[in-house]
Amino acid sequence: MTISRSTSMGLFAVATMIAVASLISATPADARGRTFYSQDYKFNKPMHGFDGRAAGGYYCSYQRLPNRVCSIVNGEEKCKVKGWTLRQYCY
């Protein structure tokens, strides 16, 4: 079985695109050999987190997200905040 030159060039082009895509998609955490992780904490009221360096050289940031419960009353949507989620991202 022989592979034509155009087929081998096509395979080379695909392999090159995959290699370039993997380099571009690498995050700063990947470059340092660390993994990215996130964790959610539930509270009744909004809480503050910090943005900055944490243990192990990770950089962590937080988002406050409302937990909404919505219902439709007389054809109108009504939403109430029933709690808060503090989402932690570290990389």
Radius of gyration of the chain (CA): 23
Does residue 57 come out as left (phi exceeding 0), alpha (psi in the -120 to 50 range) or beta?
left
Q: List Cβ neighbours of 27 (8 Å cut-off, separation of 6 or more).
A: 36, 91
Per-residue model confidence (pLDDT) at position 13: 52
One digit per residue, the tens of pLDDT, for the chain of length 91 reads 444 444 444 455 544 455 444 444 445 554 556 788 899 999 999 888 778 888 788 899 999 999 999 999 999 999 999 999 999 999 8
Domain count of the fold of the chain:
1
Whether the pTM exceeds 0.75: the reply is no
In this structure, are strands 59-73 and 37-43 parallel, antiparallel, or unpaired?
A: unpaired
Give the residue among 60, 68, 70 at the shortest CA–CA distance from 84.
Answer: 68
Are the CB atoms for 39 and 62 separated by under 8 Å? Answer: no
- Give residue 57's domain range: 5-90
